[in-house]
Amino acid sequence: MENYDAEKLQALTGHASPMDILHDPSQNKGVAFTHEERERLCLRGLLPPRPLSMEAQLERVKANFFSKPNNLEKYIFLTALQERNETLFYRFVRENIEQTLPIIYTPTVGEACQTYSQIFRRPQGMFISLEDRGHVRELLGNWEHKDVRVIVVTDGSRILGLGDQGANGMGIPVGKLALYTACAGIPPIHCLPITIDVGTNNEDLLNDPLYVGLQHKRVGGDDYDGLIEEFVQAVGDAFPRAMIQFEDFSNDNAFRLLDKYRNRVCAFNDDIQGTAAVALAGLLASLRITEGELKRQKFLFMGAGSAGFGIADLILLAMEQQGMPREEGLKRFRFMDSRGVVTRQRDDLTGRKGEFACDDAPEKDLEKVVESFQPTALIGVSGRGGAFYEEVVRAMARINQRPIIFALSNPTSKAECTAEQCYSWTEGRGVFASGSPFDPVTWQGKTFVPGQGNNAYCFPGIGLGVIMCQAKHVTDEMFLVAAQTLAEITDEADLNKGRVYPSLQDIRAVSLKTALAVIKVAEERGLAKTPLGENAEERTRSWMCSARYRSYV
Ligand SMILES: NC(=O)C1=CN([C@@H]2O[C@H](COP(=O)(O)OP(=O)(O)OC[C@H]3O[C@@H](n4cnc5c(N)ncnc54)[C@H](O)[C@@H]3O)[C@@H](O)[C@H]2O)C=CC1
Ligand SMILES: CC(=O)C(=O)O
Ligand SMILES: [Mg+2]
């Protein structure tokens, strides 16, 4: 028989045994449990005798983190901390955001997905596979938390610019949701990462004996659509207050699923819409440097997929708001993909490509397209590292006094050019942003701090706003206001350093402002199920979790 009162413990912590408290990452404080708490929760003897403060724990975590020999080891270390003591994990991430974001997110999360089968310790999130057809609702009932508000779901088919990673893509929803908590204060209890496994076309995984996903080719067609439909319906039933974020779906499905579900449930696609918001924000801030007007810009996109068309659509919406009709705006865009410029003569004008196709002659050489189209902004969303080679960047600098060059592909190895290349090839005149972080660059005595043009600046705040007012849908207008809000927060000091985004240190304030702007749109459009009115800021602030230990005495 136990010498503790299980009922009392249950009432206090939700757990009937003291050891379960230590094994629950949302309750565990490790050695930070005070003497009084240890007494009350019957933890005496289960911990080394001397209580330490959270500050001391943070010192230890810091020393461990920085002593790791490489980034993947840092990732494994932080994941273990997250699974052991969530509060300490989030406090450490927040206090060291510049150092930890590149680990729990791009670029290292990409490496973590690629090695997922090797580094797998404990499952995080939920896996739904083809084998679960007909049982998805039942399966969601196995998740321990019942009040889920945000689901990030992938099918692993296009993980960053690394292609098909199958079930190993789970690192992405887990990382994105960690950002929801770290950057927007959404309590982890409300977050659910999900990977839908319909197989993989990645030959390495199909031949890897350690691969943890279904080891057959991807299944598409009605079976795929049926599973996604069952998933969306099951979410509505199991978690009626949840918003669904589609993440890293290959572009044959990304737009299709977005179009199918955006007006039916509360859902958005981050690669299309979140990326659009961050890119537009960066462009609006860039125009304060180049002293240009959005309507007068010419955009050349390398990459004609989810991110590219998502960004272009939002730019067009912003142009329309400034009085430029969509038809006129379309003329200011060119898209290139692996087959060259997207022209009307092509035989693959499916989806968004048809609308953005131009009348130019076919051309595969990026430098020639830069010379003929004379873009003011070059945007890389191709997942092809090094696509912006020296002659291309130099041509941009010949045509423009201040060329805008965004290398948005992730992870770092897929960036179309590096920050250093951009600044040196444009002789310090390039206005640069990248999807994965680059260190500051000193060029001829001036130090540039490149901004990170990553949807991480937008989706946490948008999600926070949607959740707070329980918006019925996530609309393009919400992404537009998110972009405008982010651009406004970027100040002159940022721009003077060459950074077209605010510092990541300010990310919580950015997320809060974004959320408030989103709530306002939802309320104005009659989409808010629980309007917050004048209390929006106070209610949102007080809902955001703070990464502080709760007291049990
Ligand atoms: N910075 C950010 O916040 C975000 C960055 N991305 C990055 O953007 C990249 C693309 O993502 P999605 O648009 O979702 O992928 P996608 O697969 O929908 O589109 C990729 C496009 O690039 C084209 N492409 C591929 N190889 C090429 C080559 N050699 N030359 C020219 N074009 C080529 C493809 O034909 C396709 O049009 C990825 O690396 C992803 O990590 C995506 C979302 C957000
Ligand atoms: C950042 C992001 O969502 C991507 O690279 O897919
Ligand atoms: Mg993504």
529 and 472 in contact (C-beta within 8 Å)?
A: yes
Is residue 374, in this structure, part of any structural domain at all? Answer: no
Report pLDDT digits (tens) over 193-249.
999 999 999 999 999 999 999 999 999 999 999 999 999 999 999 999 999 999 999
Residues 69 and 184 grouped into a single domain: no
Is residue 446, in this structure, part of any structural domain at all? Answer: no
Residue range 396-401: average pLDDT? 98
479 and 205 in contact (C-beta within 8 Å)?
A: no
Residues 79 and 155 grouped into a single domain: no
385 and 414 in contact (C-beta within 8 Å)?
A: yes
Q: How many CB atoms lie within 10 A of CB 208?
A: 16
367 is in an annotated binding site: no
Spell out the residues 6+ positions from residue 104 whose beta carbon is closer than 8 angstroms to its own: 75, 78, 93, 175, 178, 179, 182
Number of domains the chain is built from: 2
Is residue 345, in this structure, part of any structural domain at all? Answer: no
Whole-angstrom Cα distance, residue 501 to residue 432?
11
Q: How many CB atoms lie within 10 A of CB 1?
A: 3
Report pLDDT digits (tens) over 400-438.
999 999 999 999 999 999 999 999 999 999 999 999 999
Residues 194 and 227 grouped into a single domain: yes
pLDDT score recorded for residue 351: 87
The number of the ligand 1 atom at minimal distance from the alpha carbon of 303 is 22
- Pairing type for strands 377-380 and 404-407 reads parallel
- Pairing type for strands 441-443 and 446-448 reads antiparallel
Is residue 61, in this structure, part of any structural domain at all? Answer: yes
Report pLDDT digits (tens) over 32-44.
999 999 999 999 9
Report pLDDT digits (tens) over 123-160.
999 999 999 999 999 999 999 999 999 999 999 999 99
Q: What angle separates helix 366-373 from helix 390-399, to the nearest 10 degrees?
A: 10
Token pair for 82: 């997250």
Residue range 107-131: average pLDDT? 96
Token pair for 157: 């088919």
Residues 96 and 121 grouped into a single domain: no
Is 176 one of the catalytic residues? yes
The answer to whether the peptide bond before residue 107 is cis (omega within 30 degrees of 0) is yes
pLDDT score recorded for residue 4: 85
pLDDT score recorded for residue 114: 98
347 is in an annotated binding site: no
Residues 161 and 87 grouped into a single domain: no
**Residue whose C-alpha is closest to residue 140's, from 236, 226, 234:** 234
Q: Which of 101, 118, 135 is the last residue of a domain?
A: 101
Report pLDDT digits (tens) over 281-298.
999 999 999 999 999 999
Q: Torsion angle of alpha carbons 224, 229, 230, 233, nearest 10°?
A: 160
CATH code of residue 134: 3.40.50.10380
Spell out the residues 6+ positions from residue 412 whose beta carbon is closer than 8 angstroms to its own: 106, 107, 434, 436, 437, 438
Residues 95 and 71 grouped into a single domain: yes
Whole-angstrom Cα distance, residue 247 to residue 465?
19
Which residue from 454, 457, 479 has its CB within 8 A of the most atoms of ligand 2, so it is best to mutate? 454
Report pLDDT digits (tens) over 161-202.
999 999 999 999 999 999 999 999 999 999 999 999 999 999
The number of the ligand 2 atom at minimal distance from the alpha carbon of 274 is 3
Binning the chain into helix, strand and coil, the percentages to the nearest 5 are 50, 10, 40
Q: What is the DSSP letter of 43?
A: -
Q: What is the Cα 382 distance to its own chain's centre? A: 17
538 is in an annotated binding site: no
Whole-angstrom Cα distance, residue 225 to residue 259?
13
Q: Which of 232, 265, 298 is the last residue of a domain?
A: 265
454 lines ligand 1 (CB under 6 A): yes
**Ligand 2 site, CB within 6 A:** 106, 160, 248, 270-271, 410, 435, 454-455
The one catalytic residue in 75, 90, 105, 501 is 105
> Which structural domain, as residue segments, surrounds residue 158?
102-265
pLDDT score recorded for residue 3: 80
Nearest ligand to residue 369 Cα:
1
**Residue whose C-alpha is closest to residue 168's, from 220, 141, 131, 208:** 208
Whole-angstrom Cα distance, residue 395 to residue 388?
11
Q: Measure 60 CA to ligand 1 centroid, in angstroms.
A: 39
The one catalytic residue in 176, 211, 261, 513 is 176
Residue range 328-336: average pLDDT? 98
Whole-angstrom Cα distance, residue 264 to residue 260?
7
Q: What is the Cα 553 distance to its own chain's centre? A: 38
Which residue from 108, 455, 457, 501 has its CB within 8 A of the most atoms of ligand 2, so it is best to mutate? 455
414 lines ligand 1 (CB under 6 A): yes
pLDDT surpasses 90 at 56: yes
> Which residue's CA is the closest to the ligand 1 atom numbered 37?
304
Spell out the residues 6+ positions from residue 473 whose beta carbon is closer than 8 angstroms to its own: 262, 263, 265, 266, 267, 527
pLDDT score recorded for residue 1: 52
Residues 26 and 122 grouped into a single domain: no
Q: Which of 101, 134, 156 is the last residue of a domain?
A: 101
Is residue 29, in this structure, part of any structural domain at all? Answer: yes
CATH code of residue 79: 1.20.1370.30
The number of the ligand 2 atom at minimal distance from the alpha carbon of 161 is 5
125 lines ligand 1 (CB under 6 A): no
> Which residue's CA is the closest to the ligand 1 atom numbered 30?
338
**Residue whose C-alpha is closest to residue 279's, from 379, 183, 366, 376:** 379
Residues 191 and 231 grouped into a single domain: yes
Whole-angstrom Cα distance, residue 392 to residue 512?
39
2 is in an annotated binding site: no
531 φψ region: left (φ > 0), alpha (ψ -120 to 50), beta (else)? beta
394 is in an annotated binding site: no
Which residue from 253, 313, 337, 349 has its CB within 8 A of the most atoms of ligand 1, so it is best to mutate? 337
The answer to whether the peptide bond before residue 411 is cis (omega within 30 degrees of 0) is yes
Is residue 337, in this structure, part of any structural domain at all? Answer: no
Residues 11 and 23 grouped into a single domain: yes
Q: Measure 333 CA to ligand 2 centroid, in angstroms.
A: 22
Length of the chain equals 553
Q: Measure 378 CA to ligand 1 centroid, in angstroms.
A: 14
Is 74 one of the catalytic residues? no
Q: Measure 78 CA to ligand 2 centroid, in angstroms.
A: 21
Report pLDDT digits (tens) over 339-378.
999 999 999 999 899 999 999 999 999 999 999 999 999 9
Whole-angstrom Cα distance, residue 535 to residue 421?
48
Spell out the residues 6+ positions from residue 403 whose beta carbon is closer than 8 angstroms to its own: 376, 377, 378, 393, 396, 397, 426, 429, 430, 431
Mean of the per-residue pLDDT values of the chain: 97
371 and 395 in contact (C-beta within 8 Å)?
A: yes
Residues 50 and 73 grouped into a single domain: yes
Residues 28 and 169 grouped into a single domain: no
The number of the ligand 2 atom at minimal distance from the alpha carbon of 435 is 1
pLDDT score recorded for residue 508: 97
pTM of the model: 0.97
Whole-angstrom Cα distance, residue 380 to residue 359?
22
Is residue 285, in this structure, part of any structural domain at all? Answer: no
pLDDT surpasses 90 at 463: yes
User: If DSSP states are collapsed to H, E and C, what string results for 76-140?
Assistant: HHHHHHHHHCHHHHHHHHHHCHHHHHHHHCCCHHHHHHHCHHHHCCCCCCEEEEHHHCCCHHHHH
Residue 150, classed as helix, strand or coil, is: strand
Is residue 73, in this structure, part of any structural domain at all? Answer: yes
Spell out the residues 6+ positions from residue 376 whose beta carbon is closer than 8 angstroms to its own: 290, 292, 296, 297, 298, 299, 400, 403, 404
Report pLDDT digits (tens) over 530-548.
999 999 999 999 999 999 9
Residues 246 and 182 grouped into a single domain: yes
